[in-house]
Amino acid sequence: MDQEAKIAEVGFMIKLEAQGKGFAAEALKLVRDFALTELGLNKLVATCSVSNIGSFKVLEKLGFVREACLRKNTLIKGQLVDDYIYHLCKSTL
């Protein structure tokens, strides 16, 4: 978190058997609303693998905007994978 700029990173992990039931979207919506209203943050950022369709669909559903693609950014199971970076600014809500 960048306290001076009031920017924080958010993320979520859902067990395989719980995926597709709306838990990530519900939890992220609560965190988003709390962070931007109660905590007074200006911006939230999130990172997910380009192959994690479920995650980036949740982010987009809740208003996050894809900002960039970072090539070979994260090591997963011995392989470097590309990541998407998303942001949501308070001013866009």
Supply the CATH number for residue 69's domain. 3.40.630.30
Q: How many structural domains compose the chain?
A: 1
Supply the pLDDT for residue 1. Answer: 75
* Residue 50 covered by a domain: yes
Q: Would residue 73 count as lying in a domain?
A: yes
Q: What per-residue confidence (pLDDT) applies to 93?
A: 67
- pTM, to two decimals: 0.87
What tens digit of pLDDT does each residue of 47-93 get? 999 999 999 999 999 999 999 999 999 999 999 999 999 999 988 76
* Within-domain flag for 81: yes
In a domain, 42, yes or no: yes
For residue 29, pLDDT over 70 is answered with yes
pLDDT of residue 32: 94
Distance CA 1, CA 50 (A): 23
Rounded-to-10 torsion of CA 27, 56, 91, 36? 20
What is the extent of the structural domain holding 15? Answer: 7-92
8 A C-beta contact, residue 7 and residue 1 = yes
pLDDT of residue 15: 87
